[in-house]
Amino acid sequence: MTETSSTSNGDHSSEDESSSAGPARPLVHADPSQAMPTSSKARAKCRIAVLEEELEMMRQERGGKQRKTTFYVAQGRAIHRLVVLYHSVGDMIAENDRRYEFRSAPESTAEQDRLQRGYIELARVLPWLKKGADAARGDDTSSLKELVATWVNQEFRPSPFIKSNDKYSRGFASDICGMLLCPAEWDWTQNSVKAGIRDRTTEYIVSENSWPLFLYENYQINSNDLEEGFLKSKLLVLAFKVVFTSPSSAREAEGDGDGADVLENNRRARRRSDQTKVKTCVASILNMKKVTPRAIAYVVCQVRFALSSVSSWHTVDADFDYEAFWCNIVDFFEDTPGPVTRRKVDKLLEWWTRKIFGTNHREDLTPELVSQMSVNALSEQRKKLEDAAFDSD
């Protein structure tokens, strides 16, 4: 104890001496050109800190690249859905280059015209491009395989029910699927028609040259006006919602759609979530606010495949060519014979946009219009009340 005490006193005395000698001077190394002495432990800690920082930077760069790649893949998934289902991106670019080289209007076939319209649509939807397109088609095919079976069972109550995981019992082997796939020019209720299609006789060839019944509103046709109710079926609307907005939005096909609300809620959820992963719908990724002809053609092909008995995607199913079928639908919209049919097509697209995205008019809320509404009117009245009270004082 005594030893400890004396040591302590000694310390105090030295402190007193230093304090009495005046303010402490800064410690200066004798030779600034020489390295300051440090412990090996301190040097190791510094080196570890530097390495950790470099590692974190590498992780961020890699994560950024992955996010960028994921973004491009997600955008590329739009190619089959919105632009072209079968032709390659290279074919469209080559056709555009051909026309550019000619400068003047070159001679072109219907096929080349379709490729060029596809290129224009591609440039509008995506500024660059194709990884992800095939994956998107596969995902949609898988989803609709189960959902189409569910919708058909709910609407038609077949006996037995169509199995969601089984394709072999669909197609023309099924009375309900056969009716929906039956060409509009034939009556599926007639036994001779059923037998002819199932036996694949030359009198009943099912090809892309016929419009199947599932395309029509209420699955009924007017032989004298084949455009009546065309591309307005409940199955198509539900399938479109699943692919482009969300499966939850496909619970109802009647009335106006809520796609605009889905897109806005998606945007706000992403803004609030910071780093939290938010599932974004296809229409939101593509900034899609209106239904386009090629998007409809894509969904039509997907529904047709879901109703068929074919288990894997093939361009040709027996006598039916999906590529030519897709082209027929696109041409119905894009290759109109004149202004009368053009107006009818535009009206049909307006119907589709309303079914999917509803009647949201937020973009039409101009400052002038808002200034006349009750929220601003009340605000102005309160200001006038305060001004009147100030003047009276």
Residue, of 297 and 80, whose pLDDT is higher:
297
Residue, of 386 and 191, whose pLDDT is higher:
191
Q: How many Å apart are CA 147 and CA 162, to the nearest integer?
A: 11
Res. 5: pLDDT tops 60: no
10 Å Cβ neighbour count for 330? 21
Residue, of 78 and 160, whose pLDDT is higher:
160
Q: What is the pLDDT of residues 293-305, one digit of tens each?
A: 989 999 999 999 9
Name the average pLDDT for the chain: 76
Q: How many Å apart are CA 239 and CA 304, to the nearest integer?
A: 11
Amino acid identity at 388: A
pLDDT score, position 54: 67
Q: Please choose, from the candidates 321, 348, 319, 308, the residue with its C-alpha nearest in 3D space to the C-alpha of residue 332.
A: 348
Residue, of 266 and 148, whose pLDDT is higher:
148
Whether the Cβ atoms of residue 84 and residue 292 lie closer than 8 Å to each other: no
**Which residues are 321's β-sheet partners?**
316
Whether the Cβ atoms of residue 341 and residue 333 lie closer than 8 Å to each other: no
The CA-to-CA distance between both ends of the chain, in Å, stands at 83
pLDDT score, position 147: 94
Is the preceding peptide bond at 160 cis, omega within 30 degrees of 0?
yes
Residue, of 141 and 282, whose pLDDT is higher:
141
Amino acid identity at 365: L
10 Å Cβ neighbour count for 265? 14
- Residue 143, classified by CB atoms within 10 Å of its CB into exposed (0-12), middle (13-18) or buried (19+), is middle
pLDDT score, position 387: 86
pLDDT score, position 59: 62
Per-residue three-class SS string for the chain: CHHHHHHHHHHHHHHHHHHHCCCCCCCCCCCCCCCCCCCHHHHHHHHHHHHHHHHHHHHHHHHHHHHHHHHHHHHHCHHHHHHCCCCCHHHHHHHHHHHHHHCCCCCCCHHHHHHHHHHHHHHHHCCCCCCCHHHHHHHHHHHHHHHHHHHHHHHHCCCCCCCCCCCCCCHHHCHHHHHHHCECCCCCCCHHHHHHHHHCCCCCCCCCCCCEHHHEHHHCCCCCCCCCCECCCHHHHHHHHHHHCCHHHHHCCCCCCCHHHHHHHHHHHHHHHCCCCCCCCHHHHCCCCCCCHHHHHHHHHHHHHHHCCCCCCCCEECCEEHHHHHHHHHHHHHCCCCHHHHHHHHHHHHHHHHHHHCCCCHHHCCHHHHHCCHHHHHHHHHHHHHHHHHHHC
Q: What is the pLDDT of residues 242-295, one digit of tens each?
A: 988 877 776 765 655 444 454 455 454 444 444 444 456 777 766 788 899 989
pLDDT score, position 95: 72
Q: How many Å apart are CA 145 and CA 163, to the nearest integer?
A: 10
Whether the Cβ atoms of residue 44 and residue 102 lie closer than 8 Å to each other: no
Q: How many Å apart are CA 263 and CA 362, to the nearest integer?
A: 13
Q: Please choose, from the candidates 359, 140, 361, the residue with its C-alpha nearest in 3D space to the C-alpha of residue 238.
A: 140
pLDDT score, position 295: 92
- Given phi > 0 = left and psi -120 to 50 = alpha, else beta, which region is 228? beta
